[in-house]
């Protein structure tokens, strides 16, 4: 098991370097930080613009290989450079990452767990009303883009607030101003944060739930009448116990691989979610950086995204090894 994980980790490290380098090269080729000065009145002298961009390693007229070498040397030292506004990328990166980590893991966990459970339940109830309802809901959610789902949830929450006369839902930012100044102090602030967290978390969770439930349903259908399930029942296990101990465990093995591939879609959905709900996290920062042509910020966010996806792949390999004993024991001689 340890040798298997070490082999995968070494491969992931190579992939991380290649993916991060490609992300920088694409950003440096496609984006133009120089355009931020075009609309300024009066426009700074060309020499001032050239000196500013050259000092920040953002001069699109400099050789691409030279800019990449400077950027790669900085990343090797743990320095992602500076934004086009001459602010350190590292400080803002960690702050934005903290915001995203308060939002993404909870929604991903809820969506993944509920999706697997609902998909397995739908397979067990194949052809019945519960299966049809779960299938219809999952297909409907899959057909709705994440940004449309976020807007729909905001509309529903607004109607609920109007009907009840109480602001049960909030969806702008992480918390309201002066949330801790009320009579309940810290508890009031926590409640306010929970209200702001509910809708964006639901957006991410519903999008993930739809993906996982459809995939898990198909996997579970493949093992419902498998020989090992029938053998377990012949030995005296109840149908529910046989499906949980043997059927679901086997059906979860390919799901761990799917988790690694779906993690990229999770990050994409989180990017739209942060932007629509006013969360100042990595996704919102990436969108703003692209519009501003801020190459160093785009490259830094891409590096974090690459590492996150590859760590998800490593976690997938670990869970795969736990579920499948053949990975732990290795091939037989």
Q: Which two tokens stand for residue 320?
A: 């795969």
Number of Cβ within 10 Å of residue 199's Cβ equals 20
Cβ 173 vs Cβ 279: under 8 Å:
yes
CA distances from 230 to 19, 145, 250 (A): 46, 41, 14
Cβ 96 vs Cβ 88: under 8 Å:
no
**Per-residue pLDDT at 110:** 92
Mean pLDDT of 42-58: 88
Q: How many alpha carbons fall within 13 Å on the CB side of residue 157?
A: 21
**Per-residue pLDDT at 300:** 93
Q: Which two tokens stand for residue 33?
A: 């930080």
Distance CA 167, CA 173 (A): 15
Q: Which residue has the higher pLDDT, 315 or 117?
A: 117
Distance CA 150, CA 41 (A): 38
**Per-residue pLDDT at 186:** 62
Q: Which residue has the higher pLDDT, 264 or 24?
A: 24
**Per-residue pLDDT at 189:** 74
**Per-residue pLDDT at 297:** 94
Tokens 């918390």 locate to 175
Q: Which of 23-32, 83-92, 304-313, 314-323 has the lowest mean pLDDT?
A: 314-323
Q: What are phi and psi of 304, to 5 degrees?
A: -65, -40
Cβ 213 vs Cβ 122: under 8 Å:
yes
Mean pLDDT of 37-45: 81
> pLDDT category, 271, cuts 50, 70, 90?
confident
**65, pLDDT greater than 90:** yes
**187, pLDDT greater than 90:** no
3-state secondary structure of 250: helix
If we measure between CA atoms, which residue out of 132, 158, 109 comes closest to residue 315?
109
Max avg pLDDT among 149-158, 222-231, 254-263: 149-158
* Angle of CA points 157, 161, 166, to nearest 5°: 140
Q: What is the mean pLDDT of the chain?
A: 85
Q: Is the pTM of this model over 0.75?
A: yes
Q: All domains of the chain, ordered by start, with CATH?
A: 1-98+281-333 (no CATH), 104-279 (1.10.3720)
**Per-residue pLDDT at 333:** 45
Cβ 309 vs Cβ 12: under 8 Å:
no
**231, pLDDT greater than 80:** yes
Distance CA 173, CA 127 (A): 43
**Per-residue pLDDT at 177:** 53
Q: How many alpha carbons fall within 13 Å on the CB side of residue 210?
A: 20
Mean pLDDT of 82-106: 90
Residue 217's contacts (CB-CB under 8 Å, 6 or more residues apart) are 119, 120, 122, 123, 131, 134, 135
**Per-residue pLDDT at 1:** 64
**Per-residue pLDDT at 201:** 92
> pLDDT category, 249, cuts 50, 70, 90?
confident
Distance CA 207, CA 226 (A): 30
**Per-residue pLDDT at 332:** 47
Three-class DSSP labels, 70-112: HHHHHHHCCCCCECCCCCEHHHHHHHHHHHHHCCHHHHHHHHH
């Amino acid at each position: 098991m340890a040798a298997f994980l070490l082999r995968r980790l070494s491969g992931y490290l190579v992939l991380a370097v290649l993916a991060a380098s490609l992300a920088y090269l694409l950003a440096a080729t496609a984006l133009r930080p120089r355009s931020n000065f075009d609309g300024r009145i009066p426009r700074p002298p060309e020499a001032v613009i050239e000196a500013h961009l050259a000092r920040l390693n953002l001069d699109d007229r400099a050789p691409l290989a030279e800019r990449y070498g400077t950027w790669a040397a900085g990343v090797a030292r743990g320095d992602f450079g500076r934004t086009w506004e001459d602010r350190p990328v590292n400080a803002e990166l960690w702050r934005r990452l903290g915001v995203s980590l308060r939002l993404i893991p909870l929604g991903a966990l809820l969506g993944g767990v509920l999706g697997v459970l609902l998909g397995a339940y739908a397979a067990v109830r194949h052809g019945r009303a519960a299966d049809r309802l779960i299938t219809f809901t999952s297909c409907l959610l899959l057909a709705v883009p994440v940004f449309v789902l976020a807007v729909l949830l905001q509309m529903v929450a607004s109607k609920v607030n109007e009907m009840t006369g109480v602001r049960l839902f909030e969806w702008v930012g992480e918390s309201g101003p002066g949330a801790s100044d009320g009579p309940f102090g810290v508890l009031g602030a926590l409640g306010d944060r929970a209200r702001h967290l509910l809708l964006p978390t639901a957006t991410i969770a519903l999008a993930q739930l739809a993906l996982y439930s459809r995939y898990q349903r198909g996997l579970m259908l493949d093992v419902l009448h498998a020989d090992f399930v029938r053998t377990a029942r012949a030995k005296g296990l109840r149908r529910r116990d046989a499906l949980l101990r043997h059927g679901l465990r086997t059906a979860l093995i390919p799901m761990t691989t799917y988790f690694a591939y779906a993690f990229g879609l999770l990050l994409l959905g989180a990017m739209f979610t942060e932007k629509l709900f006013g969360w100042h996290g990595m996704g919102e920062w990436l969108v703003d950086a692209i519009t501003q042509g801020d190459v160093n910020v785009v490259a830094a966010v891409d590096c974090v995204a690459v590492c996150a996806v590859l760590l998800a792949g490593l976690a997938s390999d670990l869970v795969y090894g736990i579920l499948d004993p053949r990975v732990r024991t290795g091939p037989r001689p």
